[in-house]
Structure 1
């Protein structure tokens, strides 16, 4: 999963899309026309209607944290930054690991070193704009008593 990037332009059929298709069918629209209206193939819609639920993810890879959990972690990191607690790479990785453990979230992290993966912390740094400081800057400040 380290370098996995989704190539397909397919989208998952969410519960909202499935509900919309059911409403169209209940209003007298054919399954084929309802499938065209929601943007899915007819066979896919029939299959999802038969199962009674949509699928939220595609493929075997899944996110460790939901969007709400990620936003909560980002807010926590920003609060730490406001209190002048500079996060480096290792404390952020430990924070992500401990958050997953305390909330009983299934994760692929190794329990031996108690750190989240490198790609996850890179994603938090790049996409979520979590501010990380260089470890040498922290050591310089500690030596000078700042």
Structure 2
């Protein structure tokens, strides 16, 4: 299921401060009871604000950082510059490097892994990557009768 890191941290804090039971905290903060129990008994390393562990893998970017990447992609799409899988993999690598984010991306190819991109796209279903095609001037400027008439008159 989906749960936020902030909710997990808050649930752990409430249980450790004896304000809520594990079951109450799991219900209130919508986090898995078994995961919360592990966090409390320190069987798992306590999750930091910007980390969420899924098995042995750690999500590279925080929710806010992924939102920033997503907004950039959507802005590029608005400007008729679609982004390819390879470009997104390079973008993720550069974003991690510039922001000193610990990652296991390929240092030789300077790209994020295919597993990362599939996870990113699974988390952000409103993004669709494609091979961008050159946008014609007519399409970009709104090729319509008014535009044609104004072009012919000039």
TM-score (norm 2): 0.60
In the aligned structure 2, how far is the partner of 1:76 from the partner of 1:58?
26
> How many residue pairs were aligned?
119
Where in structure 2 are there 5+ consecutive unaligned residues? Answer: 27-32, 48-52, 139-154
In the aligned structure 1, how far is the partner of 2:81 from the partner of 2:137?
15
- Counterpart in 2 of 1:133? 130
Contact kept, 8 Å, 1:35 with 1:45, in 2: the verdict is no
Where in structure 1 are there 5+ consecutive unaligned residues? Answer: 1-5, 7-11, 26-32, 49-53
In the aligned structure 1, how far is the partner of 2:21 from the partner of 2:123?
36
Q: Superposition RMSD on alpha carbons, in Å?
A: 3.4
- Counterpart in 1 of 2:74? 78
Q: Encode CA deviations 1:34-56: one digit per residue, 9 max, x unaligned.
A: 34544568x868745xxxxx722
Q: Which one scores higher on RCO, CA 8 angstroms, separation ≥ 6?
A: 1
| Structure 2 residue corresponding to 1:62, chosen from 54, 58, 65 | 58
Contact kept, 8 Å, 1:124 with 1:130, in 2: the verdict is no
